[in-house]
């Protein structure tokens, strides 16, 4: 028997979608979500389902609703949901490594396919995302440039399912770089992204795959520090973006 989709189920799906967008850095702390009517149209849902989704996100500490001339729904500083995420990662042994392992399997093959299949038009957004890191100012711009790179690379691979899977996997790992005293690793990220881009542009699938693997293994090391703690001086360690 087909399972019915209730309004509650739809609202939960919308909340999960918005939560993942926040996790992967599409929307950063302090940013305002689109107005209710516009956001409902973007997502293709009724406004009542969107309101319920926003209510869930408010309860979980992801957004706050402000009144007045600058009113609207804003992403919070994410302290409460980030701590809840870290607690879940600590409690569910192996989940973080499982997600990273999945991303490595997914994105190394994505990089290899991009090396084999890319066109000049498809490669241009990847290069633009690399160049954007030269001029980033602030964490929001940094997060957005990082996200643009991974998504553009998946598009260059020419497979919509891969693109969707990459975006979904990135959304499973909270990005608490906005909350912790880690310096922003623009140089490290630029180096990694440049290496991946050059291998893809050269059509070297093996090198592109290896560069992506090294990038994501760096992510694994830094996430372990963030989630499980580290020795004194950990706050000086550069954060490798997810």
Domains defined for the chain, CATH in brackets: 7-77 (1.10.10.10), 81-236 (1.20.120.530)
Q: How far apart, in whole angstroms, are the C-alpha atoms of residue 227 and residue 172? A: 14
pLDDT, one tens digit per residue, over 33-63 is 999 999 999 999 999 999 999 999 999 999 9
User: Cβ distance 178 to 139 under 8 Å?
Assistant: yes
Give the DSSP letter string of 94-112: THHHHHHHHHHHHHHHHHH
Say what the pLDDT of residue 3 is: 42
Q: pTM score, two decimals? A: 0.79
Give Cα 159 distance to the centre of its chain. Answer: 19
Model confidence band, residue 112 (pLDDT cutoffs 50, 70, 90): very high
Of the CA atoms within 13 Å of residue 56, those in its CB half-sphere come to: 18
Q: Is the pLDDT of residue 241 over 70?
A: no
Q: How far is CA 128 from CA 12, 15, 16, 114, 234, in A?
A: 35, 31, 29, 16, 32
pLDDT tens column, 207-235: 999 999 999 998 888 888 878 875 444 44
Closest CA to 163 of 221, 127, 117: 117
Contact 84, 161 (CB under 8 A): no
């Amino acid at each position: 028997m087909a399972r019915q989709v209730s309004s509650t189920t739809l609202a939960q799906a919308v909340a999960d979608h918005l939560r993942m967008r926040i996790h992967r850095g599409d929307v950063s702390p302090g940013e305002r979500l689109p107005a209710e009517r516009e956001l409902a149209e973007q997502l293709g849902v009724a406004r009542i389902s969107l309101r319920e989704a926003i209510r869930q996100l408010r309860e979980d500490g992801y957004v706050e609703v402000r009144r007045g001339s600058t009113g609207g729904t804003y992403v919070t500083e994410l302290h409460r949901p980030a701590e809840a995420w870290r607690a879940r990662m600590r409690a569910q042994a192996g989940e973080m490594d499982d997600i990273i392992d999945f991303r490595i399997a997914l994105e190394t093959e994505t990089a290899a396919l991009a090396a084999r299949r890319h066109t000049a038009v498809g490669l241009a957004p990847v290069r633009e995302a690399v160049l954007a890191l030269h001029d980033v100012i602030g964490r929001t711009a940094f997060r957005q440039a990082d996200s643009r790179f991974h998504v553009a690379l998946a598009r260059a691979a020419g497979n919509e399912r891969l693109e969707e899977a990459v975006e979904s996997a990135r959304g499973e790992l909270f990005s608490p770089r906005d909350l912790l005293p880690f310096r922003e690793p623009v140089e490290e990220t630029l180096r990694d992204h440049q290496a991946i881009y050059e291998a893809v542009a050269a059509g070297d699938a093996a090198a592109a795959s290896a560069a992506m693997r090294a990038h994501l293994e760096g992510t694994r090391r830094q996430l372990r520090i963030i989630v499980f703690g580290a020795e004194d001086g950990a706050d000086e360690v550069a954060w490798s973006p997810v």
